[in-house]
Structure 1
Amino acid sequence: MILLGGYLIDIRIKGLKWADIDGDFIRIQRFIDNKNRVINSIKGNTADGIRSMPLTPATKAILSRIRKLQPDNQEFIFYRGDSPLATVTFNRRLKKCCEDLGIEYRSSHKLRFSTASIMYKNGMEDTALQKLLGHTTLSMTQHYLCNITSNEETASKMAAILG
């Protein structure tokens, strides 16, 4: 499974086309609804949802491998038959990967939360995450930033601050 740099998860990944890639960036501008219809807008219909996102070198390498496995005329990056990949198919595959790895299953949407939290904890500004996630408000982004600090780390920080 590819998470495109870790931040593009759930329905947004299904609407990606090869034509959306422009060098080191990919344009997010459509989604696939739960009836597998292409919607040339973004969930929430806000200007903040339509955006260009950077592609990491690792993501570009994965996309290159995916491209080599597809027919030349394939429009969508993620597809099944002649249609974009359905969410249920995407999450079933994710569940099987988790089972094969012996780890707890997390839906694609939960992975979006986790990835945002990990990126934030490792120094990414919440305002940068807001743009990457396509949120209209910072409070929407902060909702994603769950506490991923262990109890031991919290206790250590408290001791250092409070004595």
Structure 2
Amino acid sequence: MNYAVQTGIISLDTMLNDIEAMERKELLEQHPYAITVTTEKSGKEIFSTYLPSPDGNRLFRRRNTREELEEVIVSFYKALQEEIYIENVFYEWIDRKLEFCEIQKASYDRYINDYKRFFKSGTYSISKKKFKNITEDDLEIFIKSVIRDLSLTRKAYAGLRTLIRGIFKYAKKRKYTSISITEFFGDLELPNNLFKRRIIDKQKEVFMENEIPLVIDYLKSKPDIYNLGILLTFQTGLRVGELSTLKPQDLFRRIIKIRRTEDKYRDENNKWIVTVKEHAKPDAGNRDLIISTTAQETLDKILALNPTGEYLFEHGGKRIRGNTFNKRLSLICKELNIPHRTMHKIRKTYGTTLIDSDVDEGFITEQMGHSDISTTKKLYYFSNKTSKNKEKQIENAISF
């Protein structure tokens, strides 16, 4: 391009005019209101349209020619771009995603909380800089500062990365920036020592092999609706949101059809709302779960306790929420004098048990509702053998 300009093949003025004409065309195409032509009694044509207003109303504009009115429109949007900040783009982006059901309300709330956490604090902020003036260097410094100031792990950083990718992809489409965020992240280097390393106590991630019989015996000895729900989770590996939204019509002998889950989000008054979503959390979560004969026996007991309910797990005619099961499990752990664990740790115990039992990997992913076995192995597998058992295994392996 430089060669073409320098040698006179392309005129610089022509190129700049072409770029300006292209930007003008794109701005006019983004204008949401039609240009209306009316004819006055004198026979004169008048061109009119509306411009969007921050207060939700519309601004009426009219001119004698289409060219004059288009100039008003282009000037309006150019001036608007001058006053756009990252917060404006963020809310414009997530509001549109929610409007078109690309995200659920729970994800919408999580994005807002993450935005406040990442963009409203720290020693280096880009939220007060006009969006068009944000450079790739600004972004890199901002990202590294947030990782350092908030002591982010790589997993926590993924939330920040999701927001930045979404905001800047949307902004580029809207012509608020020229930064290609895909290329930016492709070139960005973040060494491992930049992140906080989280030391996982593996014994708290799953129930240990000597603890499982204690909990199972306790649940079977006190078979109320809550304990049977926890027992069923040990036998099926269900997510707690899937467990709490099961219905009798989901049961087909040795198969449970998983087709819904619990959804939790905050309303406009910042009050928590808990609803039932008519599909599982990830796409792979919609599955036909094969169950054991013991799980089938547990289901029979649950149906006997609640024979006419809309949901399998109800108390006083109301659906039992997922968090209620977590509270009950916490009390059980305390009573048995074992470390506190959540219902999700039972799910990890189930995944670990399947892997240790040499169940086919493809079948494990189906049972867990994962799309790939690597997810199960990386996030859901923790050896739950006792120290004595591990010592025995080492003795058997190292005999020289």
- TM-score band, normalised by shorter chain: 0.7 to 0.9
Residue 159 (1) aligns with residue 394 (2): no
Residues 22-46 of structure 1: CA deviation (Å, up to 9, x unaligned): 12111001001123211011112x1
Residue 43 (1) aligns with residue 272 (2): no
1:14 to 234, 244, 262: 244
**Letter of the structure 1 residue corresponding to residue 324 of structure 2:** T
Asked if the contact 2:236/2:291 (under 8 Å) is kept, the reply is: no
In structure 2, the residue corresponding to 1:3 is in which secondary structure? helix
Residue 27 of structure 1 aligns with which residue? 257
2:365 to 112, 126, 130: 130
The separation in 2 between residues aligned to 1:69 and 1:104, in whole angstroms, is 30
The separation in 2 between residues aligned to 1:13 and 1:153, in whole angstroms, is 37
The worse-fitting range, judged by mean Cα deviation, of 103-112 and 14-23 is: 103-112
In our comparison, the structure showing a higher alpha carbon Rg is: 2
Q: 1 or 2, which has the higher helix percentage?
A: 2
Structure 2 runs not aligned, ≥5 long: 1-226, 265-272
The worse-fitting range, judged by mean Cα deviation, of 6-15 and 146-155 is: 146-155
Residue 56 (1) aligns with residue 292 (2): yes
The separation in 2 between residues aligned to 1:38 and 1:102, in whole angstroms, is 34
The separation in 1 between residues aligned to 2:328 and 2:254, in whole angstroms, is 27
**Letter of the structure 2 residue corresponding to residue 80 of structure 1:** H
Residue 323 of structure 2 aligns with which residue? 88
Asked if the contact 1:36/1:84 (under 8 Å) is kept, the reply is: no
The separation in 2 between residues aligned to 1:111 and 1:152, in whole angstroms, is 25
In structure 2, the residue corresponding to 1:106 is in which secondary structure? coil
The separation in 2 between residues aligned to 1:147 and 1:67, in whole angstroms, is 34
Change (3 A) 1:129 1:25: same
Asked if the contact 1:126/1:141 (under 8 Å) is kept, the reply is: no
**Letter of the structure 1 residue corresponding to residue 279 of structure 2:** S
In structure 1, the residue corresponding to 2:232 is in which secondary structure? coil
Residue 232 of structure 2 aligns with which residue? 3
In structure 1, the residue corresponding to 2:257 is in which secondary structure? strand
Change (3 A) 1:138 1:69: same
Residue 106 (1) aligns with residue 341 (2): yes
Residues 85-111 of structure 1: CA deviation (Å, up to 9, x unaligned): 222211011112222333222100111
Query: What RMSD over aligned residues (CA atoms) do the two structures have, in Å?
Result: 2.0
TM-score by length of 2: 0.37
Residue 75 of structure 1 aligns with which residue? 310
Q: How many residues align?
A: 158
In structure 2, the residue corresponding to 1:142 is in which secondary structure? helix
The separation in 2 between residues aligned to 1:127 and 1:156, in whole angstroms, is 32
The separation in 2 between residues aligned to 1:63 and 1:133, in whole angstroms, is 19
Residue 184 of structure 2 aligns with which residue? none
Give the C-alpha shift of residue 56 in structure 1. 1.6
Asked if the contact 1:32/1:84 (under 8 Å) is kept, the reply is: no
Give the C-alpha shift of residue 154 in structure 1. 4.8
Residues 42-70 of structure 1: CA deviation (Å, up to 9, x unaligned): 112x1x21111122221121211121122
Give the C-alpha shift of residue 155 in structure 1. 2.1
**Letter of the structure 1 residue corresponding to residue 303 of structure 2:** R
The higher relative CO (CA closer than 8 Å, separation ≥ 6) is in: 1
Change (3 A) 1:121 1:157: farther
The separation in 2 between residues aligned to 1:29 and 1:12, in whole angstroms, is 8
Using the aligned pairs only, state the percent identity: 25
**Letter of the structure 2 residue corresponding to residue 3 of structure 1:** L
